[in-house]
Amino acid sequence: MTTLAPETESQLIEAMRWAVAAEQPLELLGRGSKRGFGRPVQAAHTLDLSRLSGIVSYEPEELLLVVKPGTMLADLSAALAERRQMLAFDPPDLSPLWGGAAGAGTVGGLVSAGLSGPRRLKAGAVRDHVLGISAVSGRGDLFRAGGKVVKNVTGYDLPKLLTGALGTLGALTEIVLKVLPAPEVTRTLVLAGIDGAAAHQAMADALGSPAELAAAAWVPAGLPWPGLPPRTPCVLLRLEGVAVSVEARLGHLGRLLEGRAATAVLEAEDSARLWAELRDAAPLARQPERAVWKLSVPPMQGMAVLDRIRTALPGSIGWLDWAGGLVWVGLPDGDARAGLVRGALPGEGHATLMRAPDGVRATTPVFQPQPEPLARLTARVKAQFDPKGVLNPGRMAAGG
Amino acid sequence: MRMPVPDERIIRERGTLIARLQAAVPGGVVVDETSMRPFETDALTAYRQMPLVVVLPASTDEVAAALRVCRAMGVKVVPRGAGTGLSGGALPLADGVLLVLSRLNRILEIDYDNRAVRVQPGVTNLAISQAVAGRGFYYAPDPSSQIACSIGGNVAENSGGVHCLKYGVTANNLLGVEFVTIDGEVIRLGGKHLDPEGYDLLGVLTGSEGLLGVVTEVTVRILQKPETARAVLLGFPSVEAGGATVAAVIAAGIIPGGMEMMDNAALNAAEDFVQAGYPRDVASLLIVELDGPAAEVDHLITRVEAIARGHGASYCRVSASEEERLAFWAGRKAAFPAVGRISPDYVCMDGTIPRRTLPAVLTRMEALGREYRLRVANVFHAGDGNLHPLILFDANDADEFDRAEKLGAAILRLCVEVGGVLTGEHGVGIEKRDLMTDQFGAEDLAQQMRLKCAFDPDGLLNPGKVFPTLHRCAELGRMVVQGGRLPFPDIPRF
Ligand SMILES: Cc1cc2nc3c(=O)[nH]c(=O)nc-3n(C[C@H](O)[C@H](O)[C@H](O)COP(=O)(O)OP(=O)(O)OC[C@H]3O[C@@H](n4cnc5c(N)ncnc54)[C@H](O)[C@@H]3O)c2cc1C
C-alpha cells in the first residue's frame, strides 16, 4: 500500500507510467471528500492529486478560469465572489452527506463526480461549464482537449466525457471552467400548502411562462426547512437577475399562480439558506443512517416516483428539485433496495445510489445498469483510456 | 485536399452492394448519376465528389440495416443531413455510401409540461420552433441556416446561433438522442430527463461530425420566449472601439441575448441587400439584443448605451418596434448571401478567439488580407469571440482560389496563436482537417482517435474528415510501457 502524491504534472505522468507498467491499480483522490460516492475502489495504491492545486489564471472579463484539480472549491468560490462571479451550475457541497466536514472538496473532485445543484435546471450541468481539460490517461500519457474559449467544436468534446467519469478515464491536471456573473438579486416565491399534481402543474406553468426561473423545487410536509411554514408542503420558485427584472417577474408569477396556494417571498439571505439546504441535501446529511438515492426522471413524473417509493417503504423521506426532474430520497435505513427504487422509475431516467455503507455499495450497482449495447460501448470507451484498468477500478461498475 | 484513396475492390463490388442495400432499404437507394448529382457537395462547394451510392432510409431500422450491410462489406459511410455544412463534413467518398437522413423528417412528440420535443433527425431546426410557437415556446439554438439545416446535422456539428451567448449551443439544449453504431446497434442516450447516466457519451456524440454514429432521433429542450426583446444598433469609428465595448458589456455582468458585430465591408453589403437601416459610415457595427421583462430590457439598454458611449460610439439606435428589431437582425442573418453578391465566391472562416484579443486579431487580419491580396469582410458572434471572416475571391481564377485557401489557413493559425481555436461552430470537416496539428499535439489527437476506435474500430464512418492522418486502431492501441519501477524517491509519498 503506497500513496503517491505528485506535485507536478511530470511526476504524475511518472507515477502513472509506473502503475501501468507494474499493472498496479490506483485509487485517485483529491481530498477524499467523495470517497462515499460510487462503488468502493479495489486498489492497492493511492494516487493523491491534492498537491496539484492552485488557480492558474482567472480572467473575469473573459468569463474564464483555469484551475488545477486539487484546488479547494471553497477557495475558488471565494475568488469568484470577489469579482461577483460564480460557477453557474451551483456546485453542491455533499461532503457532509458522506460524513465529512463542510467545504472539504476539491474542484477536481467536483468535476469528476459531475455534481450540479438546483440551478442546473436553467444554467446546465457541470459538463456544460467545463471548456477544456488536461489529463493523464491510464496509458500514462498527457493529453489536452477542448480549449480556453466558450465556443469551440474543434475535435471531440473529451472535457464532457471526463466530467462525471469519476477518475476512471484519466487523472485531471488542469480544468478550464466557464464562469458567469453572479445575479444582483435572488428571491424565492413560496407557494405554501401545495401537493401532488397541483404542485407539478404549478412548476410546469411557471416554467412555461417567461418568468425565467433559476430553480424550482417541491418539499413535502414532514421535513423542517429554514424559512418555510412548518408541516406544509411547498413549491419554491427561485428568481434571479437585476432588481427591476426580479420584481417584474415576481409580479408576473403572482398573477399566473393566483389562487392556487398561499404565497410568500423569501428575500436574499433566507432564500440562499433554503436553497443551500436543498442543494447540499442537508436533511439527509443530518440523518446518516439512511441509504440515499437520487433519481433523474422526466420532470412531471417526479411526484409519482417519490410516492411509489414512500408507499412501498414507509418512513422514506424525500423532495423534488429541478422542477420535479430530480428526486432525492432517503430510505428508512442503510439497506439500498436497488430493485425497489429502480422499479419506481417510469421506464425512463435513472437512479444513483448516493450514500450507503461500503458493503452495500460493493454489492449494489450504484449507477443505473445499462442496456447491453450501451454497456459494451462504455467498456470499449474505458479500455481506450485505461487499457490496463489501473484507474479507479470498480468505481463506476463492477469489473470496469 | 487529399482524401483517402478509393478502394478499387469496393468500387468493383458496387453491384452487389446496391443489391444488398436495396434489400435493406427498399425504395431508398439512388444509383443513377443524375439523381446522385445534387449530393456531390455540401455548402463547402469548392469540393465535389460523386458518392458510390446514395441511400435514403425511412426508419431507424432501415438505417441499422444499411449500416450492417456496409459494415459487413467493409464499405465507408458518410452521413448527411441537409447538406448546409460549411466545412465539408458531408462531402461524399468515391468508394462510400452517402447515407442521407432527410426522409426521417417527422416531429414525433411535443411535451409542453416537460418542455421537450422529440423529432427525427431530418426535421429542420426552424420547424421545431415553428411547431411550438403557438404556445409561446421555441428551440433556442438558431443557426443562420435554420430554415434548411437539419437537427441531426446540428447535433453532429454542435451548431450555434446568434442567441447562444445567453442560451447555449446545441449541446446545452440537447436532452437525448437515439443513434445507430456502425455495427447496426441502436443505442439511446438521455431522454426527457436531465443528464444521461454513465459516461457523457451524449456530450461526445454532439459535434462528432458523423464519425461516431448515425443520429436517428433527437430530444431537445424548448424554452418559453422572453416577454420582450429589443435590439440596439451601435456604430463605432473604429473596429477596436466596438471590440472594447463587447468586452466591457460582459465585464459589467451583462449577458445579452445576442451580441453581433460587422465591419464596414460586411454591413454595407448587408445594407445593399436587405436595407436593414444600418449606418453606412461606421467602421464597425454592433447589434446587442436584450431580452426579458420590459423593465429589465429598458434598464439594460440604458446601461449598454452608456458603456458604448463611454467607448466612443458615434451611432446608437434602439429598436422601437418588433418590425425594427427584426430588420436589424435581417441584415445580420443575410450577411453571408449579401457578401455573396459583392464577390463571385467567398469562403467563411470560423475561428474563436479570447474576446480581449479582438482588436489585435482584426488588425493582423487586415495585414494578412493585404499580404494575400484579397478582401475580407468580417461578421462575428462578438459576445463569444467567434469570428466569421469572409474571404472574397473568384474561384475561376486558380491563383485567387489558392491564395484564398492560404489566407484562410493563416487566419485560423492566428486564432490558435492568440489562444483560440480553429472552429467555433462550423466543424473541422475536411476544411480545417490539416490544421488540427496546429491546435493539438500528437498525443491529444491520438486520444481523440482512440475514442473513435471505441465506436468504429474499422474506421468506416466518415473517414478523411476531422483527423489529418488516419491510423489503424491496433496501432493507436499499442502501448510502449517504460519504467516498471516505482518512481522513488522523486515523488513525494507518505
Ligand atoms: C448560409 C449558412 C449559414 C450558416 N449559419 C450557421 C450558424 O449561424 N451557426 C452554425 O453553427 N452553423 C451555421 N451554418 C452551418 C450549417 O448549417 C450547420 O453546420 C448545420 O448544423 C449543418 O446541418 P445539415 O443538416 O445541413 O448537415 P450536413 O451538412 O448534411 O452535415 C454536416 C455534418 O454532420 C454529419 N451528419 C449530418 N446528419 C447526421 C446524422 N443524422 N447523424 C450523424 N451525422 C450526421 C455529416 O456527416 C457532416 O459531417 C450555416 C451554413 C450556411 C450555408
Structural domains of chain A, count: 3
pLDDT of residue B92: 98
| Range A65-70 average pLDDT | 98
Q: Residue A134 and residue A12: Cα distance in Å, rounded?
A: 12
One domain, residues A271 and A299: no
Establish if A305 belongs to a structural domain: yes
One domain, residues A128 and A139: yes
State yes or no: pLDDT of B156 exceeds 90. Answer: yes
* Per-residue pLDDT band at B492 (split at 50, 70, 90): low
One domain, residues A75 and A150: yes
pLDDT of residue B157: 98
pLDDT of residue B482: 63
One domain, residues A171 and A74: yes
Establish if A396 belongs to a structural domain: no
Establish if A38 belongs to a structural domain: no
Amino acid residing at B174: L
Could you tell me the distance, in angstroms and rounded to a whole number, from the CA of residue B170 to the centre of ligand 1? 12
Q: Rounded mean pLDDT of chain B?
A: 95
Residue of chain A nearest B432, judged by CA positions: A154
Give chain B positions within 8 Å (CB) of A7. 491-492
State yes or no: pLDDT of B333 exceeds 80. Answer: yes
Establish if A15 belongs to a structural domain: no
* Per-residue pLDDT band at B493 (split at 50, 70, 90): low
H or E element at residue B447: helix B442-455
Residue of chain A nearest B484, judged by CA positions: A21
Residue of chain A nearest B416, judged by CA positions: A147
The secondary structure of residue A183, as a DSSP letter, is P
Minimal C-alpha gap between B139 and chain A (Å): 13
Q: Mind listing the domains of chain B with CATH numbers?
A: 8-100 (3.30.43.10), 107-224 (3.30.465.10), 228-337 (3.30.70.3450), 343-435 (3.30.70.2740), 447-482 (no CATH)
Q: In this predicted model, what pLDDT tens digit does every residue of B49-70 receive, in sequence order?
A: 999 999 999 999 999 999 999 9
Regarding an ipTM greater than 0.90, the answer is yes
CATH number at residue A93: 3.30.465.10
Burial of residue A231 (CB within 10 Å: 0-12, 13-18, 19+) is exposed
How distant, in Å, are the alpha carbons of A77, A115, A129, A133 from that of A65? Answer: 11, 18, 10, 12
How distant, in Å, are the alpha carbons of A129, A363, B116, B168, B224 from that of A122? Answer: 13, 35, 14, 11, 12
8 Å CB contact of B247 and A61 = yes
* Size of chain B in residues: 494
Residue B327 pairs in a beta bridge with none
How distant, in Å, are the alpha carbons of A166, A255, A275, A344 from that of A262? Answer: 43, 12, 20, 31
Domain hosting A248: range is 185-279
Contact yes or no for B91/B50 (Cβ under 8 A): no
One domain, residues A268 and A317: no
Residue of chain A nearest B187, judged by CA positions: A374
The secondary structure of residue A72, as a DSSP letter, is B
Residue A60 sits at the chain B interface (C-beta within 8 Å): yes
Burial of residue B6 (CB within 10 Å: 0-12, 13-18, 19+) is middle
Minimal C-alpha gap between B337 and chain A (Å): 24
Could you tell me the distance, in angstroms and rounded to a whole number, from the CA of residue B466 to the centre of ligand 1? 14
* Angle in degrees, CA B447, B451, B452, rounded to 5: 115
Residue after which a domain boundary falls, among A279, A294, A310? A279
Percent of chain B past pLDDT 90, that is, above it, reads 89
One domain, residues A189 and A171: no
One domain, residues A125 and A55: yes
* Per-residue pLDDT band at A222 (split at 50, 70, 90): confident
Establish if A358 belongs to a structural domain: yes
Q: Residue B208 and residue B122: Cα distance in Å, rounded?
A: 17
Contact yes or no for A382/A168 (Cβ under 8 A): yes
Q: In this predicted model, what pLDDT tens digit does every residue of B184-211 receive, in sequence order?
A: 999 999 999 999 889 999 999 999 999 9
CATH number at residue A257: 3.30.70.2190
Cell of B337: 448571401
Minimal C-alpha gap between A362 and chain B (Å): 17
One domain, residues A143 and A193: no
For residue B336, the ligand 1 atom closest to its alpha carbon is 1
State yes or no: pLDDT of B483 exceeds 90. Answer: no
Could you tell me the distance, in angstroms and rounded to a whole number, from the CA of residue B161 to the centre of ligand 1? 12
State yes or no: pLDDT of B82 exceeds 80. Answer: yes
Residue B437 sits at the chain A interface (C-beta within 8 Å): no
State yes or no: pLDDT of A218 exceeds 90. Answer: yes
- The residues in A 233-262 lying below 8 A from B, measured between CB atoms, are 241-242, 244-245, 247-249, 252
Omega before B489 within 30 of 0, i.e. cis? yes
Which of B116, B194, B491 is closest, CB to CB, to A4?
B491
Tell which residue, B126, B112, B109, has the closest CA to residue B176. B109
One domain, residues A222 and A194: yes
Q: Is B80 in the pocket of ligand 1 (CB under 6 A)?
A: yes
8 Å CB contact of B447 and A137 = yes
State yes or no: pLDDT of B484 exceeds 70. Answer: no
Residue after which a domain boundary falls, among A181, A203, A233? A181
* Per-residue pLDDT band at A214 (split at 50, 70, 90): very high
One domain, residues A225 and A260: yes
A vs B, Cβ pairs < 8 A, gives 312
8 Å CB contact of A18 and B483 = yes
| Matching residue, cell 422601437 | B320
Establish if A16 belongs to a structural domain: no
Residue A325 sits at the chain B interface (C-beta within 8 Å): yes
Establish if A140 belongs to a structural domain: yes
Distance of CA A66 to the CA centre of its chain: 20
8 Å CB contact of A242 and B299 = yes
pLDDT of residue B487: 57
Q: Which of A118-127, A193-202, B238-247 has the lowest mean pLDDT?
A: B238-247
State yes or no: pLDDT of B494 exceeds 80. Answer: no
pLDDT of residue B485: 57
Cβ neighbours of B280 (radius 10 Å): 11
pLDDT of residue B196: 87
Establish if A143 belongs to a structural domain: yes
pTM: 0.97
For a mutational test of ligand 1's pocket, the pick from B49, B157, B425, i.e. the residue with the most ligand atoms closer than 8 A to its C-beta, is B157
Burial letters B317-334, b for 16+ CB under 10 A, else e: ebbeeeebbebbbbbbbb
Site from A56, A58, A63, A151 to mutate, B interface, most B CB atoms within 10 angstroms: A151
Q: Residue B348 and residue B380: Cα distance in Å, rounded?
A: 11
One domain, residues A162 and A70: yes
Cβ neighbours of B193 (radius 10 Å): 27
Contact yes or no for B125/B138 (Cβ under 8 A): no
Q: In this predicted model, what pLDDT tens digit does every residue of A38-57 receive, in sequence order?
A: 999 989 899 999 999 999 99
Residue after which a domain boundary falls, among A166, A181, A196? A181
Q: In this predicted model, what pLDDT tens digit does every residue of A110-132 receive, in sequence order?
A: 999 999 999 999 999 999 999 99
One domain, residues A268 and A299: no
Cβ neighbours of B447 (radius 10 Å): 27
pLDDT of residue A238: 98
Contact yes or no for A171/A14 (Cβ under 8 A): no
Q: Residue B437 and residue A323: Cα distance in Å, rounded?
A: 44
CATH number at residue A301: 3.30.70
pLDDT of residue B481: 65
8 Å CB contact of B420 and A149 = yes
* Per-residue pLDDT band at B1 (split at 50, 70, 90): confident
